[in-house]
A and B are shown apart, each in its own frame.
Chain A
Amino acid sequence: MPVDSFKYLPRLIAAFYQMTERQLELPIPWTPLPRPLSGCKFGLITSGGLYHRTVEPPFDVARERQEPTWGDPTYRTLPTDVRQAEVGASHLHINTRGVLADINILLPIHRFQELAAEGRIGGLAKQAYSFMGYQGFPPDTTAWRGTYGPQVAEKLKAEGADCVLLTPA
């Protein structure tokens, strides 16, 4: 059975999404896997609004409250040995209770450590990254495309990552 994208959405938001026009941009970029996964180092990126408590600030939800058509385009860095108690979440569009109980539902650091230990993957980058998925209305992804996405890509490549798991929230 195909996944129903609208199953858990309130009717109003679902109707609005279905009315939104988006142009398919071709070609879709493609980087073939460079080697078997058992030799690949992975980076993890979510858009769940996570941040490393006491080390970095939350996303700028104060500005979003003042200016609801704007969403913070910056990103935060979380070490992949972060303790659960140090995980913060600032995202006004989802309930963050679940991820504050278990980071693995968005940034699966423990699951990937297990997969590395069993040899399914080559390894896990030391730093994971989080964005905050709401990019304004209408969405403006200019900063993601032009600035912050490329920055995270360069940081992951500098760590020797080949592959990335992305988990929108």
Chain B
Amino acid sequence: MPVLARTLEAAGLSTILVTMMPFWAEKIGVPRTLAVEFPFGHTLGQPHDAAQQTRVIRQALAVLETAEAPGTIVHSPETWPVPRREASKDWQPEEPSPIIQMMAPRFRELVRQRRQRKA
């Protein structure tokens, strides 16, 4: 989605990206970003928690208003009310995605090799 933010901005729209992965926003370069420490699929908050959603959106609008240069990343103080272990499980699909099923053995091997090289 950082790519789409860039594309729309280049087309003449002022964009604000709200993301749980500021890692990618920083790597790819996004005009304006609000980072939230929320589980995937829940970018603006919990379902039916309008107050939380509105707080995040107001923070996003403030970033849109005040950012002075491209690459601005602001970190939201919002916290997720569900414990980490449970939240990490909740957002994931019921079965692993096709690419994960296909690549998991290879990923594990790559990570193992990388660790060995570092050691």
Residues of A near any B CB (own CB < 8 A): 1-10, 12-13, 15-17, 19, 22, 24-34, 37, 40, 43, 45-48, 64-65, 68-69, 91-96, 98-99, 101-102, 104-106, 108, 110-112, 114-115, 120-121, 131, 133-134, 137, 141, 144-145, 149-150, 152-154, 156-157, 161-169
Residue of B13, B16, B88, B103 with most partner-chain A CB within 10 A? B13
Interface centre among B18, B71, B98 (most CB of A within 10 A): B98
Contact A3/B36 with A28-B29, A29-B10, A95-B90 known, Cβ cut-off 8 Å = yes
CB contact between B94 and one of A3, A48, A95, A133 (< 8 Å): that residue: A95
Q: A28, A106, A137: which contacts B31 (Cβ < 8 A)?
A: A28
Interface residues of B (CB under 8 A from A): 1, 3-24, 27-31, 35-48, 50, 53-54, 57-58, 60-61, 64-65, 69-71, 75-77, 84, 87-88, 90-94, 97-104, 107-108, 110-111, 114
Q: Contact between B61 and A120 (Cβ–Cβ < 8 Å)?
A: yes
Taking the closest CB of chain B, its distance from the CB of A47, in whole angstroms, is 5
Cβ contact within 8 Å between A27 and B47: no
Are B99 and A69 in touch, CB under 8 angstroms?
Answer: yes
Closest Cβ of chain A: how far from B1's Cβ, in Å? 4
Q: Is the CB of B28 within 8 A of A24?
A: yes
State the CA gap A15–B112 with chains docked (Å): 10
Complex: A101 Cα to B21 Cα, angstroms: 23
Of A31, A92, A105, A115, the contact of B13 (CB 8 Å cutoff): A31
**Contact partners of A98 in chain B: CB under 8 A:** 41-42, 46-47, 91
Q: Which of A31, A91, A96 has the largest count of B CB atoms less than 10 A from its CB?
A: A31
Asked if B12 and A31 make an inter-chain contact with CB atoms under 8 angstroms apart, the answer reads yes
B16/A166 in contact, CB under 8 A: yes
Minimum C-beta distance from B5 to chain A (A): 5
CA distance A108 to B51 in the complex (A): 12
| A69 to B106 Cα, complex, angstroms | 14
Cα-based distance from A15 to B106 in the complex (angstroms): 13
User: Given known contacts A37-B64, A68-B101, A105-B46, is B11 in contact with A15 (CB within 8 Å)?
Assistant: no
Q: Which residues of A contact B22 (CB under 8 A)?
A: 2-3, 5
Identity of the chain A residue whose Cβ is nearest the Cβ of B13 in the assembled complex: A164
State A96–B43 Cα separation when bound (angstroms). 12
Of the residues B9, B97, B111, contact of A16 by C-beta under 8 Å: B111
